[in-house]
Structure 1
Amino acid sequence: MRVFTIVATLLCVTACAHAPEPNIGPADFTPITVSASPNARFYADCIGQAAARGSYGRAFDDSTDMVLFTCTGTPAMNFYNALQAHSARLGSEVVRDGRTWRSTNPVQRNLFGVDYCWKDEADRHECVISLRTGEFIRP
């Protein structure tokens, strides 16, 4: 009897684990409402320069696909300067190897998926913006 109970329980658990997803209704295609954000212009300027110069490429890992946009010069300097208070509040400013790095989120293990800017001792600036895209950009 005990074996029967164990088998019956396993069958029920397996059936539940493979049950179809519940029907949540049709998808909603109502356009997403947006609001003004003064800091959005730093993203737009950086991505615009990177697109115009062809300074973008694919980055990926096992579960994430992104396009990285790299800007320099004035758009990067403006973004870097705008990040000063934000990075100070988050603790996401780091000085290392002659560069001061500022990021929109703290860096955990590496720069993968983090939007960041740096300034070096020669006052050169660079920013990298990560746009998650999904598998559409896979070769």
Structure 2
Amino acid sequence: MPTRTPIGGLVLALVAGCGGAATPSPAPVAAPDHRPVVGDAPPAAAGFYADCLAQAIAARAIRHAHEDTTDLLLFTCDGEPARAFYDALATWSARIGSQFEHDGRTYRTTAPVKGTMFGVDYCATDATSYACVVTLNVGPFV
């Protein structure tokens, strides 16, 4: 009959104990859903985006920004489309606390700024001119 050593018993106890403490297998990853997203009619505020984008595209006022793994295109409009967008943001910015002063300009953003302005749509004025920047997340293709 084989003799058991204290080490052999310890190894056996550890192996047996591991069975109960094993981490659960990760849940299977679902296959991607390739169905196109179906949208609704745009809300009225979407018109400010459309007007700003149309002017920026016509003027080719487009820049590229990159941070970590995110690539953005920045579309800049000015003049009347920017003034209308800026004015429309007044109530919204007051409600979410997203109006601020920086370098002699008053900014109104469509979302609160968290850390930096990267990826935040905004309009700004110096009381004589207006400009808005609308961002488009384009991924690494650009």
Cα distance change on mapping 1:5 and 1:125 into 2, 3 Å: farther
Equivalent AA in structure 1 for residue 85 of structure 2: F
Cα distance change on mapping 1:66 and 1:6 into 2, 3 Å: farther
Say which one has the larger Rg: 2
Equivalences for 1:12-91 in 2 at 5 Å?
12-13=22-23, 16-17=25-26, 20-23=28-31, 27-91=33-97
Using structure 1 for the length normalisation, give the TM-score. 0.81
2:131 is aligned with 1:126: yes
Equivalent AA in structure 1 for residue 15 of structure 2: F
2:15 is aligned with 1:4: yes
> 2:86, 2:70 → 1: CA distance?
26
2:112 is aligned with 1:106: yes
CA RMSD for the aligned pairs? 2.3
Give the Å deviation of 1:58.
1.7
Using structure 2 for the length normalisation, give the TM-score. 0.79
Q: How many residues align?
A: 131
> 1:29, 1:114 → 2: CA distance?
28
Sequence identity percentage: 40
Runs of at least 4 residues off by over 6 Å: none
